[in-house]
Amino acid sequence: MNLMFSDSADKMCIEDSNSRVGPDAIALKSGWDEYGIAYGKSTRNVHIKGAYLQVSTGSALSFGSEMSGGISGIVLGGLHIQNSFTGISFKTTNCRRGYMKDIISYLEMVIVNMALKATSQFGSHPDDKFDPNALPVINHIT
């Protein structure tokens, strides 16, 4: 169960939240393979601040793996991640297209097994209609 699951949201703020759930406390997404590409709506302009996150499995904060519409303009401020398996994860796979970019974070992690995880081989496809040449882009992560 996620504290917050966002798919193709614009101008969203998560503030002063506490979460002790899993597998991901906050997950930002934007569409799955060709369906996310066709819908064409990104998750953007998201501000997350003052959150205390703890997860025993998964990630406190997860980007993707469904990200075909794109994820950008994310500002993370004053986050406290503690006693967690993974702090932040960036998940995608080939054939998703999309992007994850312009993500800025100011956070504190205490007793975290893996601070940052990035994988390009996460998840499956909803059917066989995906584009094998639709590669994702990840850049401008601070």
| Model pLDDT for residues 68-124, shown as the tens digit of each residue | 999 999 999 999 999 999 999 999 888 888 999 999 989 999 999 999 999 888 878
Among 21-25, 95-99, 132-136, whose mean pLDDT is lowest? Answer: 21-25
CA 17, 18, 21, 23 torsion-angle sign: positive
**Residues whose CB is less than 8 angstroms from the CB of residue 128 and which lie 6 or more positions away in sequence, other chains included:** none
Phi-psi region of 70 (alpha: psi -120 to 50; beta: other; left: phi over 0): left
Q: How far apart are alpha carbons 44 and 71 in whole angstroms?
A: 6
Average pLDDT, the chain: 89
Q: How far apart are alpha carbons 25 and 19 in whole angstroms?
A: 6
Would strands 59-63 and 137-141 be described as parallel, antiparallel, or unpaired?
Answer: unpaired
pTM of the predicted protein model = 0.89
Tokens of 111: 């007793």
Give the confidence band of 1 by pLDDT, cuts at 50, 70, 90: very low
